[in-house]
């Protein structure tokens, strides 16, 4: 009987320890950066891998060499996609691994132009997609795109 009480006490102690112990951060959550895309302009990662997904921060069409945006929304959208491609490649992925996309536009009248550029980068099955008009974007950009990809 004493042995049973001892074992129950030990098990109860482990239970209390498990409940009160701080939960360690997810060891599978890692930040990803590449020098082939513009550096973040704030306190965020270019992408974060968590489990079997890569969450990519929004990219704008900054040219890596000049740090400037293009004169046209089509060129800006294309540079945005190229910046996202660089992040995907750093993770060993490509656009076929993307499962969700969010596009932010300062003017929905540019939707068809951005859509045409975006379509150049994807084949079926296409990722889930949302487009939102916003009042403004960093550095005066007209388009920003973020993505989620499934890690292979």
* Percent of the chain's residues with pLDDT above 70: 82
Q: Where in the chain are the domains?
A: 27-150
Q: How confident is the model at residue 22 (pLDDT cuts 50, 70, 90)?
A: low
Task: Give me the phi and psi of 149, to 5 degrees please.
Answer: -125, 150
| pLDDT confidence tier of residue 10, bands split at 50, 70 and 90 | very low
Which pLDDT does position 28 carry in this prediction?
83
pLDDT at residue 1 is higher than 60? no
What pLDDT, on a 0 to 100 scale, did the predictor assign at position 27?
63
Q: What is the reported pTM?
A: 0.82
Please say if the pLDDT value at position 146 is more than 70.
Answer: yes
Rounded to an integer, the average pLDDT of 81-107 is: 98
Dmax over CA atoms of the chain, in Å, equals 83
Please give the average per-residue pLDDT across 2-13, as a whole number: 46
Q: Which range (2-11, 52-61, 117-126) has the least confidence?
A: 2-11
pLDDT greater than 90 at residue 129:
yes
Whether residue 47 is predicted with pLDDT greater than 60 in this model: the reply is yes
Residue with the bigger pLDDT between 69 and 5: it is 69
Nearest to 74 by CA among 131, 112, 123: 112
Select 27-150's CATH number: 3.40.980.10, 3.40.50.300, 3.40.50.800, 3.30.1330.40: 3.30.1330.40
> What is the C-alpha to C-alpha distance for residues 83 and 63, in angstroms, rounded to an integer?
8
């Amino acid at each position: 009987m004493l042995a049973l009480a001892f074992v129950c006490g030990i098990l109860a102690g482990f239970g209390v320890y498990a409940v009160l112990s701080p939960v360690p951060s997810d060891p599978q959550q890692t930040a990803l950066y590449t020098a082939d895309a513009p550096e973040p302009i704030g306190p965020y990662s270019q992408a974060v891998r968590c489990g079997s997904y890569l969450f990519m921060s929004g990219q704008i069409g900054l040219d890596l060499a000049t740090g400037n945006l293009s004169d046209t929304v089509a060129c800006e959208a294309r540079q945005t996609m190229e910046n996202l491609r660089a992040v995907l490649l750093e993770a060993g992925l490509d656009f076929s691994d993307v499962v969700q996309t969010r596009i932010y536009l300062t003017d929905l009248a540019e939707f068809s132009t951005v859509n045409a550029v975006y379509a150049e980068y994807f084949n079926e099955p296409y990722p889930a997609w949302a487009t939102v008009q916003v009042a403004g974007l960093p550095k005066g950009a007209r388009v920003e795109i973020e993505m989620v990809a499934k890690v292979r």
